[in-house]
Homo-oligomer: A and B are copies of this chain.
């Protein structure tokens, strides 16, 4: 049996575009005499469709798309596609998250997802009823078990999130192969974990696994692909490239035989810094392309964060498509502009220089009479950031560019940024990358020669909103701050646990208070490209008004 896997980059709700892509893959399968073509989870509508699933009209479009694909496949090939399907009983949620098995031009079988991830960025029980009945489909003499994403993720965990294991249920029916349709988003440790999960399923149940993931960014969620095939002994025969589309084919005989790859096989490099870099480039690229935009604008401050955003944006969009605006104030150091210009020269990318002093002075002149003699404080610092926000947004509006936000995760965590100032933007490129990781990605970018000038990487971080300001005036050292933040945000360590780890109690109290009190700022942050297991945004939902650890 020749099986094809199509790892495609879908657009949510773009039924026409998605069907066209899937049709091309099916035709490739027919051309190559494949017996079966496997797509990823909710492929016809794109993942995650979110509350579009609550629209009957949207569900009807999904059904039409499945029918259209059945027509394309005809009697020439079997196709397995992901789409929502109506729950035929009146009890429970109205939909299942399903895989449609299409043979001879019609839907001959549906399998429904049993384990519905409802944690972090996932909301599947919001929409779907969990499957409770398990069946196989027999095709060309092979008994096929079909699972969807999370269904294979509950093996061997000490503290499982669910009460059943769907693969164990299916294994009782003695299938020949296991298919999995996934939409499993990227974080820097996911590719390694995913491969282990596939291998564990293969060896535990002595089953070859054909795992097909989606690829490409859907706003904040980045799908890295990495579809793969494992034989029943847990040997990974082939792993798809990350962050790009691919259609690949495999020959399968039986459980005991080797699976052969119809093209040169590969296993991908899983080095986290490289993955984060590639994910961010993919995230920028797809955000722009899917929205139909070509050009970006950003404020280039001379600091490391905006330098990294510029470098990534140039890779994603091309050097001519990123406009850097340098907006020095009376508090800016000379190297801020010089370092930025050096980097722009390295890249050959365009820029504008617009000093903000004159604008600031008019505001100051107009506001002073109302400020009752109160001294320069955070008000005036924020005002500078907001003037810059206005200027870059003016370029965005006038020329139809998207403003890239340059906030990093450490700043986003402790609220070290100005709402409506440097927190503006269509997309927050780095807000899931801690300051200490920012430097690592920069070094990776410079691996074959200087793109980001060395001085940007070695000088002390500063917002330059008052004379001689340094980040370290108001924040703990990033090396310590980031470790506490990681334990609190990614690992859910409480104050008692942090103290047991050796962090001093006043420091812990101070940092946790900053994080919790600044939820109001993060609520108004642009969407954040997610590269860690716990990003700010839809995967981390905290009250804005509360008193826990404040």
The interface residues of chain B lying within 8 Å CB-to-CB of A492 are: 54-56
Kindly state the separation between the CA atoms of A93 and B119 in the bound complex, as whole angstroms. 10
The interface residues of chain B lying within 8 Å CB-to-CB of A46 are: 546
Report the minimal beta-carbon distance from A268 to chain B, rounded to whole angstroms. Answer: 26
| A14 close to B125 (CB less than 8 A) | no
Identify the closest chain B residue to A516 (Cβ).
B13
C-beta contact mask, A352-382 vs B, less than 8 Å → 1, else 0?
A: 1010001100110011001100100111001
Report the minimal beta-carbon distance from A376 to chain B, rounded to whole angstroms. Answer: 10
Instruction: Tell me if A397 counts as interface (CB < 8 A to partner B).
Output: yes
| B359 close to A363 (CB less than 8 A) | yes
C-beta contact mask, A372-402 vs B, less than 8 Å → 1, else 0?
A: 0010011100110011011101110110000
Report the minimal beta-carbon distance from A547 to chain B, rounded to whole angstroms. Answer: 4
A542 with B51, Cβ < 8 A, contacts A393-B382, A394-B367 known: yes
Which of B17, B162, B370, B397 is in CB contact (< 8 Å) with A547? B17
Instruction: Tell me if A479 counts as interface (CB < 8 A to partner B).
Output: no
Instruction: Tell me if A227 counts as interface (CB < 8 A to partner B).
Output: no
The interface residues of chain B lying within 8 Å CB-to-CB of A163 are: 91-92
Identify the closest chain B residue to A221 (Cβ).
B543
Interface set, chain A 388-418, CB cutoff 8 A to B: 389-391, 393-395, 397-398
Instruction: Tell me if A142 counts as interface (CB < 8 A to partner B).
Output: no
The interface residues of chain B lying within 8 Å CB-to-CB of A52 are: 542-543, 546, 548
| A374 close to B398 (CB less than 8 A) | yes
Interface set, chain A 14-71, CB cutoff 8 A to B: 14, 17, 46, 48-52, 54-58, 60-61
Which of B93, B161, B546 is in CB contact (< 8 Å) with A93? B161
| B366 close to A123 (CB less than 8 A) | no
Kindly state the separation between the CA atoms of A492 and B54 in the bound complex, as whole angstroms. 7
The interface residues of chain B lying within 8 Å CB-to-CB of A93 are: 161
This chain's copy number in the assembly: 2
The interface residues of chain B lying within 8 Å CB-to-CB of A370 are: 352, 354, 395
| A383 close to B390 (CB less than 8 A) | yes
Identify the closest chain B residue to A548 (Cβ).
B13
Instruction: Tell me if A496 counts as interface (CB < 8 A to partner B).
Output: yes
The interface residues of chain B lying within 8 Å CB-to-CB of A390 are: 363, 383, 386-387, 390, 420
Report the minimal beta-carbon distance from A176 to chain B, rounded to whole angstroms. Answer: 29
Report the minimal beta-carbon distance from A162 to chain B, rounded to whole angstroms. Answer: 6
Report the minimal beta-carbon distance from A385 to chain B, rounded to whole angstroms. Answer: 10
Instruction: Tell me if A473 counts as interface (CB < 8 A to partner B).
Output: no
The interface residues of chain B lying within 8 Å CB-to-CB of A94 are: 159
Interface set, chain A 487-532, CB cutoff 8 A to B: 492, 494-497, 520, 523-527
Kindly state the separation between the CA atoms of A56 and B491 in the bound complex, as whole angstroms. 11
The interface residues of chain B lying within 8 Å CB-to-CB of A391 are: 363, 366-367
Kindly state the separation between the CA atoms of A544 and B543 in the bound complex, as whole angstroms. 22
| A362 close to B358 (CB less than 8 A) | yes
Kindly state the separation between the CA atoms of A125 and B127 in the bound complex, as whole angstroms. 12
The interface residues of chain B lying within 8 Å CB-to-CB of A366 are: 354, 358-359, 391
Kindly state the separation between the CA atoms of A326 and B159 in the bound complex, as whole angstroms. 58
| A379 close to B359 (CB less than 8 A) | no
Report the minimal beta-carbon distance from A427 to chain B, rounded to whole angstroms. Answer: 9
Report the minimal beta-carbon distance from A458 to chain B, rounded to whole angstroms. Answer: 32
C-beta contact mask, A154-176 vs B, less than 8 Å → 1, else 0?
A: 00001111110000000000000
A13 with B549, Cβ < 8 A, contacts A163-B92, A394-B363 known: yes
| B55 close to A547 (CB less than 8 A) | no
The interface residues of chain B lying within 8 Å CB-to-CB of A286 are: 545
Instruction: Tell me if A541 counts as interface (CB < 8 A to partner B).
Output: yes
Which of B17, B54, B162, B379 is in CB contact (< 8 Å) with A394? B379
Kindly state the separation between the CA atoms of A395 and B163 in the bound complex, as whole angstroms. 54
| B123 close to A420 (CB less than 8 A) | no
Kindly state the separation between the CA atoms of A107 and B306 in the bound complex, as whole angstroms. 56
A-B contact pairs, 18 of them (CB 8 A): A11-B547, A13-B546, A14-B547, A46-B546, A55-B494, A58-B548, A90-B158, A91-B162, A91-B163, A218-B545, A366-B391, A377-B397, A378-B397, A379-B397, A383-B390, A386-B390, A389-B420, A524-B526
Additional A-B contacts beyond A48-B543, A52-B542, A420-B420 (4; CB < 8 A)? A13-B548, A50-B543, A367-B398, A523-B526
